[in-house]
Amino acid sequence: MAGEWKSTGCILCSINCGLQVQTDGRHLTRIKGDRANPRSRGYTCEKPARLDLYQNHADRLTSPLRRRPDGTFEEVDWDTAIRGVAAGLAAIRDAHGGDKIMYYGGGGQGNHLGGAYSGATRRALGMRYQSNALAQEKTGEFWAERKMFGARPEPDFENAEVSLFIGKNPWHSHGFERARVILKDISRDPERSMIVMDPRRTETADLADFFLQVRPGTDAFCLSALLGVLVQEDLLDGKFLAERTGGGDAVIAALTDVPVADYCERSGVAEELVRAAARRIGRAESVAVIEDLGIEMAPHSTLNSYLEKLVYALTGNFGRPGTMNLGTHLAQLIGSSRTEPRTPVGGHRIITGLIPCNVIADEILTDHPDRFRAMFIESGNPVHSLADSPRMREALDALELVVVIDVAMTETTKHADWVLPAASQYEKREATFFGGGFPDNVFQLRQPLFEPLDGTLPEPEIHSRLTRALGAFSDEDLAELREAAAEGRSAFQAAFLRTLAERPDLAAITPVVLYETLGRALGPEDAAAALLWGAAHGCASAHPESVRRAGFEGEGPALGEVLFDAILTRPEGVVITSDTYDVSFDRIATDDGRIQLEIPELLEELAGLRDEVPVTDDAYPFVLAAGERRGNTANTIYRDPSWRKKDRDGALRISPEDAARLGVESGGRVRITTKRGSAETVVEVSDTLRAGHVTLPNGLGVEYPDENGERVAHGVAPNELTSSEDRDWLAGTPWHKHVRARVEAID
Ligand SMILES: Nc1nc2c(c(=O)[nH]1)N[C@H]1C(S)=C(S)[C@@H](COP(=O)(O)OP(=O)(O)OC[C@H]3O[C@@H](n4cnc5c(=O)[nH]c(N)nc54)[C@H](O)[C@@H]3O)O[C@H]1N2
Ligand SMILES: Nc1nc2c(c(=O)[nH]1)N[C@H]1C(S)=C(S)[C@@H](COP(=O)(O)OP(=O)(O)OC[C@H]3O[C@@H](n4cnc5c(=O)[nH]c(N)nc54)[C@H](O)[C@@H]3O)O[C@H]1N2
Ligand code: SF4
Ligand SMILES: [Mo]
């Protein structure tokens, strides 16, 4: 019905704001924030306005593709594709072992159901190793959080007296709900303060009370100076440290030794400003902190994450309103195993189950017998998004088999042997597991707005077909469960639990078993919700009090059922759990239930800062931040360049001093060169930058057909300029924000 508003969500960043949309045919015609979404409450930023360009564009895939021997693609039907992919992957497994097939991706900013269902395909093939974009941003942070909390604390900026943003520009990148509303509230309130640590005077920094404009890559110095002041001026929370933490003595000893004045100098921030910020933190009732790519994709990445956590842990900012808290999750996005396996070739740490993105090519481009032989890529564009694109292309081409599931022809699908076209995120049930806030956790299972585009399938269906083609189940195996599902949910639950216990082969492919039984009973539009039935029961049994506080009634399995029904029938999003703040203490998952402050390997790295000599290289005098979030970037989710009304080619930002020295003005062109590559770009002179620092936007340089069908790239693809060896020693996280570069004017 034209004119009818339907609830859905934004798929452009991890906040997934609720949207109300109108449609006409296959088009999204009107888009606005959805007040009924309990998390975003009507908020949106500017980016979703043109989501129709994601839904409808010239690069959408409409048929499975198979690579011909001459390198071109031919369209094939789905049966041929499923049979071909299953046979190809099975052949690799039989010859080399299923662990030689690597899985990459599994979801982007708005879609995690495909990755969840892929578990069945992976288990059916005996695949073991995987990675995704988190392993080039958050794995160092995850590692430190695991050691300290055994869980992942989240900030409560809405109620914080002091908010601290480190290498994070929430004005543009968000990272918490209703970011601009909250930032403006903080900046208007004289009782509250905002501290920003960033080399660029960002839109967020413009609102800050304390702007610590660090030299790029020197946060470890600035953060340890800040911590040094907290310790040396006795601004810690002694009672909290005694009651809730362990290992504090070693940390305090290390920080007592920090030469504050020297470290401030090295980071380029005035000592008085660092002291004032530390004192503000020390006397605040509540402090919330977020770090992001500015310190995670820069030197001392994991150490930075550790120091960031020490700021709030040493000052007792945990388990109260306005501080850091531990919430619930309907399903875990990251692996929970505490063991730390190593990669098969290079022996690199695998954190939360993810291989560091920067070593993936090394695990392929070698004659080591344990190298990867095939890759299964789903909803990820690694050729574009991982360090060193040329090497990533070489790695994909060296594999015996590459299978990609995507909605669009991308830089990565171009290197596939098989391309499987997915229905878009507005053509199927979709959801994310990013986590929907604290104390109220909101989950949204979005509804389909359109039928799948002809020739495409939703990922759960693709994985079900692949799993079947691999011989992992037959209709006979599922007959009893299907009967039970037809009878009703409680009959199904009993039969399901019995099957899991009796049939480990079916338990291994649980997602697809649920899809094919309960899912089929739910009906074609809702089949993909089947996995969430299990998740809802898991959540209700792990956190019954929190689920009841969110307004659900029932005991035992009945509570899980009402929770699932709410998820299924309320496409605007549901508060699934509601917590009290003190529950955070019960959720600390370390061995003794205390926050562990001491991490010896990182304290050693901290001590080493003293002797660190700043790197300079006359051949590459600039530091390039390769991949800045701006109002007109959204990873590579929008491919059609016309969505950027201004700055279609994504300018290189440069300081006025540097621009004057090079003799360039805004709109002029320069060549930027790194040890890896070189590119031409348009320039924007910006007084937000320090001299010597230049930035390029993320998500640019994707190819798109022009009027003549010619594929043209707009702007610079940042990873043509980055190198995979520039990475953190511990987590392998890349230094995308710290690429040595040379800039020359072009006449
Ligand atoms: N508009 C928009 N929003 C997005 C996205 C998008 O593509 N576009 N992508 C989403 C995704 S996937 C992510 S992971 C987040 C990322 O969100 P952010 O991490 O906030 O994004 P960035 O702009 O990449 O980097 C943050 C800041 O780091 C600063 N920085 C650079 N070098 C340094 C340094 O050495 N030290 C410090 N302290 N800061 C430094 C930059 O100046 C920048 O302001 O954004 C999400 N939101
Ligand atoms: N140099 C540099 N590199 C970076 C960054 C940086 O700051 N600098 N940032 C990094 C970060 S933080 C991130 S998160 C990554 C992001 O990079 P990627 O993880 O590669 O993710 P996206 O660009 O978000 O899009 C992934 C793919 O999902 C596809 N897609 C969209 N909808 C669907 C769907 O419903 N089903 C399927 N199967 N596919 C779909 C899109 O077409 C796209 O190809 O980039 C990283 N790379
Ligand atoms: S904040 Fe993120 S989810 Fe919300 S509207 Fe903007 S891009 Fe979309
Ligand atoms: Mo990201």
pLDDT score, position 333: 80
Q: Is the CB of 409 under 6 A from ligand 2?
A: no
CA 173 to ligand 3 centroid distance, Å: 8
Query: Regarding beta strands 162-166 and 193-197, do their DSSP bridges make them parallel or antiparallel, or are they unpaired?
Result: parallel
Task: Please tell me the pTM assigned to this model.
Answer: 0.98
Q: Strand, coil or helix: what is 690?
A: coil
> Taken in order 656, 660, 664, 670, is the CA torsion positive or negative?
negative
> Atom 3 (ligand 3): residue with closest C-alpha?
16
Atom of ligand 3 nearest to the CA of 9: 3
User: What would the two tokens of residue 602 be?
Assistant: 């990182």
pLDDT score, position 2: 60
Measured distance CA(43)–CA(184) in Å, rounded: 14
CA 347 to ligand 2 centroid distance, Å: 26
Binding-site residues, ligand 3, Cβ < 6 A: 10, 12-13, 15-17, 44-45, 47-48, 174
Cα Rg of the chain, angstroms: 25
Closest CA to 425 of 61, 108, 70, 705: 108
pLDDT tens for each residue of 133-152: 999 999 999 999 999 999 99
Query: Which ligand gives the minimal distance to the CA of 357?
Result: 2
> Atom 6 (ligand 3): residue with closest C-alpha?
45
Atom of ligand 1 nearest to the CA of 217: 35
pLDDT score, position 336: 73
Measured distance CA(241)–CA(247) in Å, rounded: 9
pLDDT score, position 383: 98
CA 635 to ligand 2 centroid distance, Å: 5
Atom of ligand 1 nearest to the CA of 170: 20
pLDDT score, position 172: 98
User: What would the two tokens of residue 177 be?
Assistant: 């709900």
Query: Which ligand gives the minimal distance to the CA of 430?
Result: 2
pLDDT score, position 338: 76
CA 635 to ligand 4 centroid distance, Å: 8
pLDDT tens for each residue of 516-539: 999 999 999 999 999 999 999 999
| Mean pLDDT value of segment 418-427 | 98
* DSSP secondary structure code for residue 229 in this structure: H
pLDDT score, position 3: 83
Query: Which ligand gives the minimal distance to the CA of 136?
Result: 2
Query: Which ligand gives the minimal distance to the CA of 48?
Result: 3
Query: Which ligand gives the minimal distance to the CA of 627?
Result: 2
Neighbouring CB atoms inside 10 A of 674's CB total: 20
Long-range contacts of residues 568-572, Cβ cutoff 8 Å, at least 24 apart: 568/445, 568/522, 568/526, 568/529, 568/532, 571/6, 571/7, 571/8, 571/444, 571/445, 571/446, 571/447, 572/7, 572/18, 572/34, 572/36, 572/37, 572/444
Place of tokens 């000052």: 315
Measured distance CA(25)–CA(28) in Å, rounded: 8
Pocket test for ligand 3, best of 40, 45, 168 (most atoms within 8 A of CB): 45
User: What would the two tokens of residue 480 be?
Assistant: 């009893």
CA 611 to ligand 3 centroid distance, Å: 43
**Backbone torsions φ then ψ of 529, nearest 5 degrees:** -75, -10
pLDDT score, position 458: 98
Q: Is the CB of 8 under 6 A from ligand 2?
A: no
Angle in degrees, CA 258, 260, 263, rounded to 5: 90
Q: Is the CB of 721 under 6 A from ligand 2?
A: no
Q: Which amino acid is at 64?
A: P
CA 327 to ligand 2 centroid distance, Å: 26
Between the alpha carbon of residue 187 and those of residues 198, 284, 507, the distances in Å are: 17, 16, 52
Query: Which ligand gives the minimal distance to the CA of 173?
Result: 1
Binding-site residues, ligand 1, Cβ < 6 A: 13, 137, 166-169, 172-175, 197-200, 202, 214, 216-217, 219, 292-295, 298, 625, 627-630, 633-635, 698-699, 737
pLDDT score, position 739: 98
CA 492 to ligand 3 centroid distance, Å: 38
> Atom 2 (ligand 3): residue with closest C-alpha?
13
Query: Which ligand gives the minimal distance to the CA of 694?
Result: 1
pLDDT score, position 335: 76
Paired with 103 in beta bridges are 130, 376
pLDDT tens for each residue of 213-272: 999 999 999 999 999 999 999 999 999 999 999 999 999 999 999 999 999 999 999 999
* DSSP secondary structure code for residue 451 in this structure: P
Q: By the 8 A CB rule, do 702 and 639 touch?
A: yes
> Atom 21 (ligand 2): residue with closest C-alpha?
380
pLDDT score, position 339: 82
Residue 77, pLDDT > 90, answer: yes
Residue 332, pLDDT > 90, answer: no
Pocket test for ligand 3, best of 8, 13, 168 (most atoms within 8 A of CB): 13
> Taken in order 652, 359, 168, 262, is the CA torsion positive or negative?
negative
Strand 287-291: give its sheet, edge to edge: 210-212, 193-197, 162-166, 287-291
C-alpha 404 chain-centroid distance: 19
pLDDT score, position 1: 55
Domains delineated in the chain:
6-55 (2.20.25.90), 65-128+333-434+440-578 (3.40.50.740), 139-328+590-607 (3.40.228.10), 615-745 (2.40.40.20)
Closest CA to 396 of 365, 368, 359: 365
CA 437 to ligand 3 centroid distance, Å: 15
Q: Strand, coil or helix: what is 199?
A: coil
User: What would the two tokens of residue 191 be?
Assistant: 């009782």
Exposed / middle / buried, residue 72 (Cβ in 10 Å: 0-12, 13-18, 19+): exposed
Q: How does the average pLDDT of the chain come out, rounded?
A: 97
Q: Which amino acid is at 161?
A: E
Measured distance CA(93)–CA(260) in Å, rounded: 56
Place of tokens 């039928």: 451
* DSSP secondary structure code for residue 40 in this structure: T
Percent of the chain's residues with pLDDT above 90: 97
| Mean pLDDT value of segment 574-584 | 98
Could you tell me the end-to-end alpha-carbon distance of the chain, in angstroms, rounded to an integer? 56
Residue 159, pLDDT > 90, answer: yes
CA 107 to ligand 2 centroid distance, Å: 8
> Atom 29 (ligand 2): residue with closest C-alpha?
379
pLDDT tens for each residue of 729-746: 999 999 999 999 999 999
Q: Which residue has the higher pLDDT, 734 or 747?
A: 734
Closest CA to 539 of 501, 578, 577: 577
> Atom 41 (ligand 2): residue with closest C-alpha?
637
Strands, DSSP E only, in 262-302? 287-291
pLDDT tens for each residue of 693-713: 999 999 999 999 999 999 999
Atom of ligand 3 nearest to the CA of 19: 5
Measured distance CA(551)–CA(412) in Å, rounded: 45
Q: Is the CB of 111 under 6 A from ligand 2?
A: yes
Q: Which amino acid is at 455?
A: G
CA 253 to ligand 2 centroid distance, Å: 42
**Backbone torsions φ then ψ of 654, nearest 5 degrees:** -145, 150
Query: Which ligand gives the minimal distance to the CA of 168?
Result: 1
Neighbouring CB atoms inside 10 A of 412's CB total: 27
| Mean pLDDT value of segment 446-463 | 98
User: What would the two tokens of residue 145 be?
Assistant: 């959080």
Closest CA to 274 of 205, 206, 219, 318: 219
Paired with 28 in beta bridges are 23
Angle in degrees, CA 604, 606, 609, rounded to 5: 115
CA 7 to ligand 3 centroid distance, Å: 15
CA 441 to ligand 4 centroid distance, Å: 21
Residue 69, pLDDT > 90, answer: yes
> Atom 4 (ligand 3): residue with closest C-alpha?
17
| Mean pLDDT value of segment 508-517 | 98
